[in-house]
Structure 1
Amino acid sequence: MSDQPFEERILEGLDNEQRAVATTLAGPLCVLAGAGTGKTRAITHRIAYGVHTGVYKPQQVLAVTFTARAAAEMRTRLRDLGAGGVQARTFHAAALRQLQYFWPSAVGGPLPALVDHKAQLIAEAARRLRLSTDRAAIRDVAAEIEWAKVSMLMPDSYVAAAAGRAEPAGMDLTTVARIFSAYEDLKIDRNLIDFEDVLLTTVGILQEDEKVAATVRSQYRHFVVDEYQDVSPLQQRLLDLWLGDRRELCVVGDASQTIYSFTGATSRHLLNFTSRYEGAQVVRLVRDYRSTPQVVRLANTLLAARSSEVDRRAGATSWSAPLELVAQRPAGPEPVFTECTDDEAEAAEVARRIGELLASGVPASEIAILFRTNGQSEAYEQALASAGIGYQLRGGERFFARREVRDALLQLRAAARAEGEDDVPQQVRDVLSSLGYTSTAPQTSGAVREKWESLAALVGLADELSRTRESFSLRMFVAELEERAAAQHAPTVQGVTLASLHSAKGLEWDAVFLVGLSEGLMPISFADTQEAIDEERRLLYVGITRARAHLALSWSISRSPGGRATRKPSRFLDALRPAGTGGRPFRQPTARKARKAAAPAVCRVCGKALGTGSERKMGRCGDCPATYREETFEALRGWRLEEARDKDVPAFVVFTDATLIAIAEAKPQTLEELGELAGVGSAKLERYGEAVIDIISRND
């Protein structure tokens, strides 16, 4: 045991910049932390150092992050550092706890019930207004209402603030505002609140009740906010009320990892932090301990390429200078770029390469396939299953909801009540053996293998915790499992991970396969502004920086075997891939093509000027008679719904109702004719053109 005081041992192993974060205990402090630079390590050691030096009282520190899993991981790290009394929560969890405590005195009566899902209420609100909606439209409107509320907009202020946004489900903004208002009325009638109301109501109470605000500020005196680039205006307002006029705030973030703008998140607060807090200290973490120099170089190149590309074009939008990462790991293999003939061939090639990695000793749990939309996962599930490779779908069935995990927790809980003297890992093995756990994996696949992998994950967690926790007992292990179950903080399961790029944020693997990197998928087809394309670039950056050593990037030139080779590699690959890896560089559409695709300015029926976006897409006034066959339009709507579900995107992202009407009325017979219609850009023409022409031909 070292003779050093514990607080000094906390600083051991930190680099100079991390140590600067850990020892700067007074705010305001802004930590600009690149991917893989040890930001969680730096801020947890900062909190622990503050606690052990007596500067912080554990109960007066609130660490806020954005997912329950990240909060649970932070609590685990703080507990291991002897700072278990510190609160680490999401914004919503912290606000809900305060709301539950203060509601009886500030408002009176019991706290309203919390709505888990908005869909049913939104559907009822639409029916009250005699509006026809399908599941996809309800999902789109729910997402829009959530955006409005975290942007602190109400139905009467929504329309003006949302001008220029895409129309959810093809509805005009006034219609969305009417549904929004009816939805709010329903909640009031039934004494319900939703997820966003938790924050809004807490903000309202803190603003209006000085006594409550003073109580909260006396409870929490030091604040740490992780992933600060993802805060919404509503979350920032809550943070301001928690702080009052104090400056004891440490924020951590990276503007280059802002990938949730569609939910209302903005990096503006991070970028303007030093302007708002005069004299704030800034520490930059750029030493990348996660990835090899080859992976880091690719990530840096992707961001650097954006600046040079946009600087050459007029009208460039703002782009904050990215952090340039400096690799700390030894050299590894070069990233691999692969062009495939179709999606099926791409999935088969990825499965083949994964088989090689497994044979070389890379664990399945250290391999991930990342894609832009959830609808892309099916091909890879089938390819891995055909190759006999186990996998887990992130976002699928939750680990702690699995039957064998629930049974295991019951058995472990019973065993903990009669705990013996054996070491915890062995006790866990003994208990789980009655449920089918063995020391070696079964040679079969399917349900038997999946059950074994779940139980093996629990054994692995017991091994890990027994190494890091002093006086670790079976009761402590059961308590840990119950806490993790509440936070959905699952242990590592053996199996290749399939995940969307968004859900991969905050995770890392030894080997990462970035798939489907073609125009229309990366960037996604509805990214039609520079801001949206910038976000897609950041999303790919997040994907690249998930890899520790092995990185593979692939795309296909047609959707299905034997299909037309009309796809092009993602424009983002132009600066990354070596010569000879297929495909031509991306070129921006010419001004001539952009004018050609512009919507007509006058109604083709009556000749009057068209005033709304929907009218310009249809090419006629809204009150002029429609000329399409109802069967054709419904066939197009049905196809669009299936596409939206397959790709896990809002229906209007595929085509708006106005564009579908224009297609049904124009009845295009060729891709060229379809491309002439407003709302059908080159990316959508490539992605959906053949399917649309086929529908028209079958319903004409």
Structure 2
Amino acid sequence: MDPDRVLDGLDPEQLEAARALRGPVCILAGAGTGKTRAITHRIAHAVASGVATEQQILAVTFTVRAAGEMRGRLRALGAPRVQARTFHSAALRQLSFFWPQVIGGPLPTLIDSKIQVVARAAHSCALQPDRAGLRDLAGEIEWAKVTQTRPADYESAIAKAGRTPPMPAHDVARVFEAYEDIRRDRNLLDFESMLELTAAMLAEHQQIADRVRDQYRYFVVDEFQDVNPLQKLLLDAWLGDRDDVCVVGDPSQTIYSFNGATPGYLTGFSAAYPHATVVRLVRDYRSTPQVVRVANLALKSAPGTAAQRLELVAQRPDGPEPTYTEYDDEPAEATSVARKIAALIDSGTPAREIAVLFRTNSQAAAYEQALADAGVAFAVRGATRFFERAEIKQAVHTLRGARQGAADDPLAATVHHILAPLGLTPEPPEGRQARERWESLAALAQLAEDVAAARPGATMDDFVAELDARVATEHAPEFEGVTLASLHSAKGLEWDAVFLAGLTEGMLPIVYAETDDQVEEERRLFYVGVTRAREYLAMSWSLARSPGGRKTRKPSRFLDGLRPASPSLASSRRDRKQAKVVRCRICGNTLIEAAERKLSRCLDCPADYDEALLERLKAWRRATAEEQKVPAYVVFTDATLQAVAEHVPGSVSQLSRISGVGAVKLERYGEAVLALCAGRDPGPGDPADGSDEGEPDDR
């Protein structure tokens, strides 16, 4: 491999980083500046120059997906044997190898989730927290463990950290201690204990430390701003007294301090290693100058020294100006965002290149409903990685087992048939969790169709091989739909168009961000959201939760200095359109939830719909969705069909008054729906011109 050819195509700062072959090296890399490109070329250059062999290099990052991407790039650069792993993967590999020598006996069972063990521990302490409380307790135990806090020291540690516990601190400490007792008694290993045991093994057994340090002599650590004290302890154990380490990160993207991460190791790297080489990557290749300007301004008023912030320099051509829109209430905001997304898709932007980002997962429901009403497919991105979801593990296992006896039918049809018993129905079920499971299975089915299209004649063996490769690199299949995601789960991703929604005080910054440090972490979260956008960035907020509610909300302080001092009320009002107050036609109460407003009644008020008509509508929807190859909710949601069955419209005018039946859906499906309501089979010739002759005035 020619060392100079490895450096082809790098910009001056990336080139400086790639040529800094000996550590310590600190690469401060802003969003979209090509940090993965810089560090993989640096590694390949080190191998080509003879500075290190592939087997001596350990590149560490935080996600399986990022590690897989790094391995793929290194293979393309001629360095396929470099170890690119997560902290946990590298630690587990070493701990498993040396376990018989150090401890002996069976290796502990690794637990993916603490919830069940935490529940047993809480029960043993005569505490009965609910599911949310158990999650909070598990998170608090994780924080304590990564910060090397013992149960006996927990109360004083959180007081020093200014941390608010999910329950009285002494109760958390009791549950923490009981959790550790249960874990040890049952020979269980959590992720934090895995790192701790590996670091302890290296500290206490010099012979093992020498073997590991002889194996790995050249270290690269990505996303260094997210390192917590426990991970730093393990890294120091790997390094020993050496300093051949390259760290990469961006202090402005530290958003996991609540989990124990600290940017201090990155910002303090030059103090720890006064002879370190420091390179700053500031050329932003991801976003337009308009988006980059917002990103830079978002951090300008943040406290701290300017030396710790990276002023991004846009490299792309101009794009549209970011927009700022105020709405009267949340339903109006969600409806408008969905309408804008539909317009973007109609103008040629792929749905998979659009995202709606928000601070908390609870905000997703309004956008799910609004997008479904607009006929736009979507997928909710959660914290669980795709191939770690229970339904996907089960599906992959089933597909692997089915390849032996697979018939010679077309690949896509075979995969659909195999996944059907697992929940891949022709149309998605109602309910968020059920629909997320369905979407996961639908993504696998779509992958089978993509493989068959790319490789005609592909077999189940080919498909399973593709799956295995994706599992290894955490390369999830794409779902052709708009992404709905929290700001935390969006980190590391990017889209052509990003809608940052719900930007109000109390939501961003979140209401429980009380200290200056906590508020600044919220500001960095906003910065991460802004820098996910390549071209189109829309920011919005609403003054009230529900139509007719008190307009007491204020736009996020992070918008100060970004949006016009006095927003153009003409354009803002044009977009924001207050949703009218809707009352239950049975009990008269004000309706807030989207499904209730669609039905014009409370969900628990008695329904008066034609059940036979509803079944005919659902059967028609299923056939239409199959024909158009879209999820059934993209045609109409269950709530919309139920509203149709309750109102039984007799004309286009009456049908258009039903929430969820917009102009596009009226044009596409109006004839068929009206035919079904009239007791006829849908077919050609049904009027769609909206003639209202003889229609009673039912206003």
Distance in 2 between residues matched to 1:526 and 1:582, nearest whole Å: 32
Distance in 1 between residues matched to 2:59 and 2:451, nearest whole Å: 25
Which amino acid in structure 2 is aligned with residue 516 of structure 1?
Answer: G
For each residue in 1:329-353, what CA deviation from the matched residue of structure 2 results, as whole angstroms up to 9, or x when unmatched? 0000000111111111111111001
2:209 counterpart residue number:
213
- In the alignment, is the contact (CA less than 8 A) between 1:432 and 1:455 conserved in 2? yes
- Pairwise CA distance, 1:435: 4.2
- Out of 157, 166, 170, the residue aligned to residue 167 of structure 2 is 170
SS in 1 for 2:536: strand
- In the alignment, is the contact (CA less than 8 A) between 2:411 and 2:460 conserved in 1? no
Which amino acid in structure 1 is aligned with residue 412 of structure 2?
Answer: L
Does residue 340 of structure 1 match 2:320? no
Does residue 262 of structure 1 match 2:262? no
Which amino acid in structure 2 is aligned with residue 245 of structure 1?
Answer: D
Does residue 49 of structure 1 match 2:50? no
- In the alignment, is the contact (CA less than 8 A) between 1:390 and 1:445 conserved in 2? no
2:341 counterpart residue number:
354
Distance 1:462 1:248, change over 3 A: farther
Does residue 273 of structure 1 match 2:269? yes
For each residue in 1:548-591, what CA deviation from the matched residue of structure 2 results, as whole angstroms up to 9, or x when unmatched? 000000000000111111111001111111233389xxxxxxxx
- Pairwise CA distance, 1:456: 3.9
- Pairwise CA distance, 1:72: 1.4
- % of aligned pairs identical? 56
1:39 counterpart residue number:
35
1:554 counterpart residue number:
540
Does residue 374 of structure 1 match 2:361? yes
Which amino acid in structure 1 is aligned with residue 411 of structure 2?
Answer: V
- Out of 542, 548, 560, the residue aligned to residue 574 of structure 1 is 560
Does residue 495 of structure 1 match 2:481? yes
Q: TM-score, normalization: structure 2?
A: 0.73
Which amino acid in structure 2 is aligned with residue 335 of structure 1?
Answer: P
- In the alignment, is the contact (CA less than 8 A) between 2:448 and 2:463 conserved in 1? no
1:545 counterpart residue number:
531
1:641 counterpart residue number:
none
SS in 2 for 1:291: coil
Q: TM-score, normalization: structure 1?
A: 0.73
- Out of 517, 528, 537, the residue aligned to residue 531 of structure 1 is 517
1:223 counterpart residue number:
219
1:519 counterpart residue number:
505
- Pairwise CA distance, 1:480: 5.0
- Out of 1, 18, 22, the residue aligned to residue 22 of structure 1 is 18
Distance 1:394 1:59, change over 3 A: same
- Pairwise CA distance, 1:168: 2.2
1:245 counterpart residue number:
241
Does residue 395 of structure 1 match 2:382? yes
- Out of 70, 73, 76, the residue aligned to residue 72 of structure 2 is 76
Distance in 1 between residues matched to 2:404 and 2:314, nearest whole Å: 48
Distance in 1 between residues matched to 2:473 and 2:43, nearest whole Å: 21
Distance in 1 between residues matched to 2:157 and 2:248, nearest whole Å: 29
- In the alignment, is the contact (CA less than 8 A) between 2:6 and 2:45 conserved in 1? yes
Distance in 2 between residues matched to 1:27 and 1:416, nearest whole Å: 53
Distance in 2 between residues matched to 1:111 and 1:569, nearest whole Å: 53
Distance in 1 between residues matched to 2:288 and 2:474, nearest whole Å: 30
Does residue 101 of structure 1 match 2:114? no
- Pairwise CA distance, 1:157: 2.2
- In the alignment, is the contact (CA less than 8 A) between 2:24 and 2:276 conserved in 1? yes
Q: Map 1:322-341 onto structure 2 (within 5 A).
A: 322-341=309-328
For each residue in 1:602-642, what CA deviation from the matched residue of structure 2 results, as whole angstroms up to 9, or x when unmatched? xxxxxxxxxxxxxxxxxxxxxxxxxxxxxxxxxxxxxxxxx
Q: Map 1:293-312 onto structure 2 (within 5 A).
A: 293-307=289-303
Distance in 2 between residues matched to 1:197 and 1:506, nearest whole Å: 27
Distance in 2 between residues matched to 1:396 and 1:523, nearest whole Å: 20
Which amino acid in structure 2 is aligned with residue 127 of structure 1?
Answer: H
Gaps of 5+ in 1: 308-316, 419-428, 438-443, 467-471, 584-700
Q: Which moved more, 1:72-81 or 1:520-529?
A: 72-81
Which amino acid in structure 1 is aligned with residue 54 of structure 2?
Answer: P
Distance in 1 between residues matched to 2:250 and 2:350, nearest whole Å: 30
SS in 1 for 2:41: helix
- In the alignment, is the contact (CA less than 8 A) between 1:34 and 1:325 conserved in 2? yes
Distance 1:453 1:387, change over 3 A: farther
SS in 2 for 1:554: strand
The CA RMSD measured in Å over matched residues stands at: 2.9
- In the alignment, is the contact (CA less than 8 A) between 1:372 and 1:522 conserved in 2? yes
For each residue in 1:110-168, what CA deviation from the matched residue of structure 2 results, as whole angstroms up to 9, or x when unmatched? 11112222222222222222234222222222111110110011112222222153432
SS in 2 for 1:64: strand
Gaps of 5+ in 2: 418-425, 430-437, 570-699
2:600 counterpart residue number:
none
Distance 1:271 1:512, change over 3 A: same
Q: Which moved more, 1:48-57 or 1:500-509?
A: 48-57
Distance 1:397 1:101, change over 3 A: closer
Distance in 2 between residues matched to 1:473 and 1:222, nearest whole Å: 42
- Pairwise CA distance, 1:396: 7.5
For each residue in 1:235-273, what CA deviation from the matched residue of structure 2 results, as whole angstroms up to 9, or x when unmatched? 001000101111110000000000000000000000111
Q: Which moved more, 1:209-218 or 1:106-115?
A: 106-115
- Pairwise CA distance, 1:492: 2.6
Q: Map 1:448-487 onto structure 2 (within 5 A).
A: 454-457=444-447, 478-479=464-465, 481-486=467-472
- Pairwise CA distance, 1:74: 1.2
1:431 counterpart residue number:
411
For each residue in 1:300-321, what CA deviation from the matched residue of structure 2 results, as whole angstroms up to 9, or x when unmatched? 00100224xxxxxxxxx77863
- In the alignment, is the contact (CA less than 8 A) between 1:347 and 1:383 conserved in 2? yes
Distance in 2 between residues matched to 1:488 and 1:257, nearest whole Å: 22
- Out of 151, 155, 160, the residue aligned to residue 159 of structure 1 is 155
For each residue in 1:416-457, what CA deviation from the matched residue of structure 2 results, as whole angstroms up to 9, or x when unmatched? 999xxxxxxxxxx963355469xxxxxx97589986654444
Distance 1:463 1:209, change over 3 A: farther
